[in-house]
Structure 1
Amino acid sequence: MKPEPAKPVMAVASAFHRTVISLRFSDIDALREVTPKIKQSTKYAQIAASISEVGLIEPPVVAHHPAMPGRYLLLDGHLRIDILRSQGRDSISCLLATDDEAFTYNKRISRLAAIQEHRMILKLVEKKVPESRIARSLNIDVNTLQIKKRMLVGICPEAVEFLKDKPVNAKVFGVLRNMRPLRQIEVAELMVTMNRYTDGYARALLAATPQTQIISEAKPKATKGLTEDQKILMERESAQLDREVKLAHSAYGADHLMLVVARGYLARLLENPRIVRFLTQQRPEFLTEFRRIAEIDTMAA
């Protein structure tokens, strides 16, 4: 028996050229303006502090200008370039992308989540990096750094696993700390399902948490404007909502499949002129709804 010929290996196209290029700022066209309001933001200050303390870690990303040879479009790194320009620099090393679509590039960027930042801080501390230097690079004081180090104390590992790559407000973990581990998992799962990660939402879930699921050492402040009867009602409705969300989540796949089948079936029916004529004469309200269902984009739905 002859061996089967080896299948050709498909080459994967690289998103960037293999070497960085040095460019003058005057040759780079920004795709958006760095406004005075942005320059006053916390993010801008953190990037500026990081560059001053440890230098530029991630080069900006550029692409060839499609209409102007010798010029480049800035896909990512507007704040870094603005900061370096303000420091007197006139050139920078950049990554050259093979795709000039800024949206395509930026939508694939995974921003640093609160838990990831926490783990990064712990690793730097383990490597004996002075806490004062870590704080300066993050543009925070040492006391805030200490709080970030202790952020996950009292949080159960399962809840951390749910939220590890989510854009969670760091204050959320202070709220979760008031709950027992099982309730922490429920709240973390509900936040992921609802795609809401604010401390306000976490406090609302805490207010709807039964007293038996709050740790005895925690003494949460009384919620303004809520009586005990209203809190009991919130607890009952929150538990009901949690059950309904989980039920909807578990049935989503089957429901979506049924929608696809029903949509296809109705679309075939509406291709029959006799059926359309009958519905127009006898059941016009059905015809309107059938057409609406047949036109649904099932992926968007």
Structure 2
Amino acid sequence: MTPKRPTIPVKIGFEEVSVRLPIEAIFPLREVTAAVRNSIKYGQIAASIAEVGIIEPPVVTRDRQDRTRFHLLDGHLRIAIMRERGENDVICLVALDDEAFTYNKRVSRIATIQEHRMILNAVKKGVSEERLARALNVNIANIRIKRNLLVGICPEAAALLGDKHVPIHVFTELRFLKPLRQIEAVQAMIAMNRYSVSYAKSLVAATQEGDLVEGRPRRPRGLTEDEIAVMQRESENIDREFKLVAENYGADHLDLVLAVGYVNRLLGNARVVRHLAHRHADILSEFQKLTELQEAA
């Protein structure tokens, strides 16, 4: 009988309710320099806050000694701009992990679909397209494209891309595919870690006729029927290989986590480290590389 694998509890990363905090109680972890204040990005964020306020709350953590003090983990530019504007308080998310390095490692910058949802929320609250365009320093056409980003995209494909940085025109290519093929194409992008428009076009070109919606794009110039057939076969091979990897990924990843945890415990024992250093220096070196790679992942 195969023993059950141990379950790993999921730790909540934030307090369940956001809080409104006095800005004077928030202490940044780094200084916003004069060069940053003069940058285009800083000006765009300042314009956005002036037009529609803060959409994405800053993230703070409570001070261990003084629970009325908070250390700023994410949102240094937003807080600096709020200070300049003379604001007194701001709504924040409170992280339960107070290590800024760990936090920044786990939280990525705003993804394409997240930006789309922010725009939808702003429009729902009554913010006009013209005002959003001024806030984000783009033209109205760009706002409308982002607003309609997921039109024609199946929910499963959208969920897979929820935290990815994807060029807007990739979604244009995905709309030429039927829902099941959209999911397969997105899974291929994730497996290859490639989200370029050219790669999306190649996936569309390698799709069989039955998986394309009406109004599909014309065949790319210079490709013959035989070349299209080759691309389709290669795409099918990639799909099969991806599914095989996906079937074993969860178990393999858990095995890796458990193995690295065990190696970390070994390296935390001074007697073991001394023994390996004297008798098996090559093994010690590999163990150290393994833990370093896992920390950097």
For 2:276, the equivalent position in structure 1 comes to none
Give the C-alpha shift of residue 40 in structure 1.
Answer: 3.1
Deviation at 1:136, TM superposition (A): 2.7
- 1:210 to 2:211 alignment: no
Match of 2:230 among 228, 233, 238: 233
Deviations 1:196-225 (A, max 9, x none): 33333322322322333222312246256x
Aligned to 2:161: 163
Contact conserved, 1:30 with 1:73, CA < 8 A, in 2?
no
Partner of 1:40: 40
- In structure 2, the residue matched to 1:194 is 192
- Alpha-carbon distance in 1 for matches of 2:118, 2:96: 31
- Matching of residues 244-263 of structure 1 within 5 Å: 244-253=241-250
TM-score, normalised to structure 2, is: 0.63
Tell me the CA shift for residue 155 of structure 1. Answer: 1.7
SS in 2 for 1:20: strand
Paired with 1:251 and 1:145, the residues of 2 have a C-alpha distance of 41
Q: Which stretch has the larger CA shift, 127-136 or 173-182?
A: 127-136
One-letter amino acid of the counterpart of residue 77, structure 2: L
Aligned-residue offset at 1:245: 1.4
8 Å CA contact 1:29–1:72 kept in 2: the answer is no
- d(CA) in 1 for partners of 2:98, 2:157: 39
Shift of 1:185: 1.6
2:170 and 2:195 in contact (8 A); partners too:
yes
Name the CA shift for 1:154/1:17 in 2 (closer, same or farther; >3 Å). Answer: closer
**Residue from 84, 101, 104 that aligns with 1:103:** 101
Given that 2:13 and 2:97 are in contact with CA atoms closer than 8 Å, whether structure 1 keeps it comes out as: no
CA distance in structure 2 between the partners assigned to 1:182 and 1:17 by the alignment? 38
- Contact (CA 8 Å) 2:133, 2:140: kept in 1 or not? yes
Aligned residue identity for 1:39: S
Q: Quick one: distance in 1 between partners of 2:105 and 2:133?
A: 29
C-alpha root-mean-square deviation of aligned residues, in Å? 4.7
Q: Which amino acid aligns with 2:192?
A: M
Structure 1 residue 239: Cα displacement: 0.9
Q: Give the unaligned 5+ runs of structure 1.
A: 1-11, 65-70, 264-290
Greater Cα radius of gyration, structure 1 or 2: 1
CA deviation profile, 1:41-81 (whole Å, cap 9, x unmatched): 5xx454222112133453574887xxxxxx99754333335
- Alpha carbons 1:178, 1:215 under 8 Å: kept: yes
Q: Please point out which of 134, 157, 170 is paired with 2:132.
A: 134
The count of residues paired between Structure 1 and Structure 2 equals 254
CA 1:248–1:187 in 2, change beyond 3 Å: closer, same or farther?
Answer: same
2:204 and 2:123 map into 1 onto residues whose CA distance is 33
TM-superposed CA distance for 1:186, in Å, is 0.9
